[in-house]
């Protein structure tokens, strides 16, 4: 009622108090005719009262698009990719990076793992990383090479080295992934500041060569995995990135991401990486994202120093 007192004429406010109204919500549930009868005010004044009450009740709850806050993002460290993604990887939902084997998905994941530790004014989060490896051995040699490049490039003031802040876990199947996400990872979050979790790759956990796959159970595994990731992400404010392989759809003849529609419906942003073998130029593209233009793309190369836009 104090807000109404500030925005309404004194006489109108006193009429509302005399009518024993205690809050804007008590006023808004009445019809205009009822309010006029109770307060003895003109309908034009009642209309002003209703507008003020509505504004107070909706403030901070329902806004136009102009008032929506931009998502916090983690820079990729590549200026061309940052340009088409409004600053990098969002700290909301599940971000998927799709591409053929050897196209550069792991290279991008490693660079993101380093960028997460960079100071915020340079596009980082100043936090560590959990890197879940599901297929090949973790590329420790390449990480070490990139970490040395980043140390020279950013000359960060972090207390630990880049490699010391990347926590690596190898998982082979969905059950091991659940154990990691529901038990080990939450414990780690209580003692370490984590800004990014990477699953490289999600197909390595769920894809099966068995023809008798129970797709209903697999879909439930997808859901439980994503729900846990989003729950922890909202609580601890970190980004989630999953790389994914592609497969050829025999029926349509189209190359598409693994795991099908059930997984695709759970992904917030899907990005792709393709490679032109003649020139070694890679192309990063936006397949879908809630706040980005679909089908936008940019070019980059992978050098000793990492992903470099061209």
Q: What is the CATH number of the domain that holds 48?
A: 1.10.150
Asked whether residue 163 falls in the same domain as residue 58, the answer is no
Q: Supply the pLDDT for residue 162.
A: 87
Q: Supply the pLDDT for residue 85.
A: 95
Q: CA 106 to CA 226: how far, in whole Å? A: 21
Asked whether residue 103 falls in the same domain as residue 223, the answer is yes
Is residue 69 within 8 A of residue 86, CB to CB? The reply is no
Among 65, 86, 116, the domain boundary falls at 65
Asked whether residue 55 falls in the same domain as residue 101, the answer is no
Asked whether residue 188 falls in the same domain as residue 215, the answer is yes
Per-residue pLDDT, averaged over 109-115, amounts to: 96
The domain tally of the chain equals 2
Q: Which residue has the tokens 């370490």?
A: 192
Asked whether residue 29 falls in the same domain as residue 162, the answer is no
Q: Supply the pLDDT for residue 161.
A: 82
Asked whether residue 27 falls in the same domain as residue 130, the answer is no
Among 39, 65, 91, the domain boundary falls at 65
Asked whether residue 145 falls in the same domain as residue 224, the answer is yes
pTM for the structure as a whole: 0.77
Q: Which residue would you say has higher pLDDT here, 209 or 104?
A: 104
Specify the CATH number for the domain of residue 161. Answer: 3.40.50.300
Residue 103 has pLDDT above 60, yes or no: yes
Pairs from 59-63 (Cβ < 8 Å, separation ≥ 24): none
Asked whether residue 125 falls in the same domain as residue 159, the answer is yes
Among 20, 48, 65, the domain boundary falls at 65
Q: Which residue would you say has higher pLDDT here, 66 or 268?
A: 268
Asked whether residue 125 falls in the same domain as residue 23, the answer is no
Asked whether residue 187 falls in the same domain as residue 275, the answer is yes
Percent of the chain at pLDDT exceeding 70? 94
Which residue(s) pair with 131 in the sheet? Answer: 168, 198
Instruction: Read off the pLDDT of residues 150-184 as tens digits, 9 standing for 90 and up.
Output: 988 877 555 568 888 999 999 988 899 999 999 99
Closest to 179 in 3D by CA, of 190, 169, 193: 169
Asked whether residue 91 falls in the same domain as residue 60, the answer is no
* Domain housing 269: 73-309
Asked whether residue 18 falls in the same domain as residue 80, the answer is no
Sign of CA dihedral 32, 34, 38, 41: positive
């Amino acid at each position: 009622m104090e807000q109404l007192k500030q925005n309404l004429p004194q006489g109108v406010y006193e009429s509302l108090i005399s009518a024993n109204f205690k809050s804007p919500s008590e006023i808004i549930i009445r019809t205009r005719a009822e309010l006029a009868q109770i307060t003895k005010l003109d309908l034009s004044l009642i209309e002003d009262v209703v507008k003020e009450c509505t504004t107070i009740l909706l403030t901070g709850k329902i806004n136009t698009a102009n008032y929506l806050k931009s998502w916090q993002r983690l820079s990729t460290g590549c200026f061309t990719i940052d340009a088409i993604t409004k600053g990098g990887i969002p700290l909301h939902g599940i971000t998927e990076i799709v591409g053929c084997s050897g196209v550069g998905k792991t290279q991008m994941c490693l660079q993101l793992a380093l960028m997460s530790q960079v100071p915020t004014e340079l596009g980082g989060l100043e936090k560590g990383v959990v890197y879940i490896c599901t297929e090949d051995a973790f590329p420790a040699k390449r990480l070490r090479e990139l970490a040395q490049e980043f140390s020279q490039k950013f000359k960060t003031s972090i207390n630990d080295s880049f490699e010391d802040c990347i926590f690596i876990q190898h998982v082979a199947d969905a059950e091991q992934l659940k154990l990691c996400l529901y038990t080990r990872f939450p414990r780690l979050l209580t003692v370490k500041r984590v800004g990014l979790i990477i699953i490289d790759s999600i197909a390595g956990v769920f894809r099966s060569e068995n023809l008798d796959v129970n797709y209903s159970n697999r879909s439930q595994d997808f859901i439980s995995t994503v729900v846990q990731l989003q729950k922890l992400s909202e609580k601890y404010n970190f980004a989630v990135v999953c790389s994914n392989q592609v497969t050829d759809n025999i029926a349509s003849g189209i190359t598409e991401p693994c795991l099908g529609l059930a997984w695709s419906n759970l992904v917030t942003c899907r990005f792709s990486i393709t490679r032109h073998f003649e020139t070694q130029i890679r192309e990063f593209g936006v397949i879908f994202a809630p706040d980005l233009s679909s089908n936008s793309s940019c070019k980059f190369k992978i050098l000793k120093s990492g992903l470099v836009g061209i």
